[in-house]
Amino acid sequence: MKICTFIQSFRRLFEEKHSSGLRKWLIEHQQSSFPHFQTFINGVRGDRKAVYYAITLPWSNGITEGTINKLKNIKGMMYGRAGIKVLLFAFQHVKEYEHNFFSLKIAQ
């Protein structure tokens, strides 16, 4: 099985919002010989309920998770893992992103 096909089939679950699709997908891909696929499938099985809700419900916490990740990166930079130039660049980038994001929201 190709990696692209594997990824596209998983993504299709979210696009089509079929509640039975997750179970079928797990059964279809459980015999994959690629070890990274098996690791991913085991992770999906371990958190099946959350993945099911992510597929079927219209809500997402993606923006929240992205913001938390961004803050953690900035915090890491502030603890001396990067120079002041990198830190200033990161803050400028965040400011530009937020401006573009909120402009998009208003325009829609």
Which tokens hold the place of 63? 């923006």
Does position 107 have pLDDT exceeding 60, yes or no?
no
pLDDT for the residue numbered 44:
92
Mean pLDDT of 17-33: 86
Structure tokens at 17: 């919002």
| Rounded to 5°, angle at Cα 83 from 77 and 86 | 70
* pLDDT mean over 5-24: 87
Which pLDDT belongs to residue 102?
52
- Sequence length of the chain is 108
Average pLDDT over residues 59-75: 84
Give the pTM: 0.55
Predicted confidence at residue 99, as pLDDT, reads: 58
Angstrom distance (rounded) from CA 81 to CA 38 = 34
- Distance of alpha carbon 13 from alpha carbon 56, whole angstroms: 9
